[in-house]
Amino acid sequence: MDSPKISPENRISPEKKRIAIIPGDGIGQEVIPQAVKVIQASGADVELTDFDWGADRYLRDQTTVPAGGFATLARDFDAILVGAFGDPRVKTNIHAKEILLGMRFTMDLYANVRPVRLLDAALCPLKGIEPQDIDFVVIRENTEGVYTDAGGVFKQGTPDEIATQEDLNTRKGVERIIRYAFEYCRHNKKQDGSPRAKVLMCDKSNAMTHAGGLWQRAFKEVSAEYPHIAAQHMYVDALAMQMVRDPRQFDVIVTNNMFGDILTDLAAGLQGGLGMAASGNIHPGKTSMFEPVHGSAPPIAGKNVANPFGAILTAAMMLAHWGMRREAEKIEAAVLEAVREKKTTQDIGGPLGTREAGEWVASRVLSY
Ligand code: ATP
Q: Does the beta carbon of 193 sit less than 6 angstroms from any atom of ligand 1?
A: no
Q: Which atom from ligand 1 is nearest to the alpha carbon of 297?
A: 10
Q: Does the beta carbon of 308 sit less than 6 angstroms from any atom of ligand 1?
A: no
The number of helix segments (H) and strand segments (E) in the chain equals 12, 12
Q: Please, what are the domains in the chain?
A: 1-7+14-110+279-368 (3.40.718.10), 125-270 (3.40.718.10)
Helices (H), the chain: 28-42, 55-61, 69-76, 94-96, 102-106, 171-187, 209-224, 236-245, 257-271, 309-321, 325-340, 354-367
Q: Cα(278)–Cα(294) distance, rounded to whole angstroms?
A: 8
Taking the CA atoms of residue 150, residue 156, residue 162 and residue 168 in that order, the dihedral angle to the nearest 10 degrees is 10
List, as one string, the DSSP characters of 125-139.
SSTT--GGG-EEEEE
Count, residues in the chain: 368
Backbone angle region of 337, left / alpha / beta, with phi > 0 → left and psi within -120 to 50 → alpha = alpha
Q: Cα(99)–Cα(54) distance, rounded to whole angstroms?
A: 8
Question: Considering Cα of 282, then 287, then 292, then 294, what sign does the dihedral take?
Answer: negative
Amino acid present at 168: L
285 C-alpha vs ligand 1 centroid, how far in Å? 31
Q: Which of 274, 335, 352, 355 to mutate to test the pocket of ligand 1 (most atoms within 8 A of CB)?
A: 274
Q: Cα(103)–Cα(265) distance, rounded to whole angstroms?
A: 21
Q: Cα(24)–Cα(37) distance, rounded to whole angstroms?
A: 17
Q: Does the beta carbon of 296 sit less than 6 angstroms from any atom of ligand 1?
A: yes
Q: Which atom from ligand 1 is nearest to the alpha carbon of 294?
A: 11
For residue 321, give every residue at least 6 positions away whose Cβ sits within 8 Å of its Cβ, in sequence order, or none: 8, 9, 11, 79, 280, 282, 288, 290
pLDDT in tens, the chain (368 residues): 333 344 444 444 557 999 999 999 999 999 999 999 999 999 999 999 999 999 999 999 999 999 999 999 999 999 999 999 999 999 999 999 999 989 988 999 999 999 999 999 999 999 999 999 999 999 999 999 999 989 999 999 999 999 999 999 999 999 999 999 999 999 999 989 999 999 999 999 999 999 999 999 999 999 999 999 999 999 999 999 999 999 999 999 999 999 999 999 999 999 999 999 999 999 999 999 999 999 999 999 999 999 999 999 999 999 999 999 999 999 999 999 999 999 999 999 999 999 999 999 999 999 98
Q: Which atom from ligand 1 is nearest to the alpha carbon of 299?
A: 18
Buried b (16+ CB within 10 A) or exposed e, 234-265: bebeebbeebeeebeebbbbbbbbbbbbebbe
Q: Which pTM does this prediction carry?
A: 0.92
Q: Does the beta carbon of 86 sit less than 6 angstroms from any atom of ligand 1?
A: yes
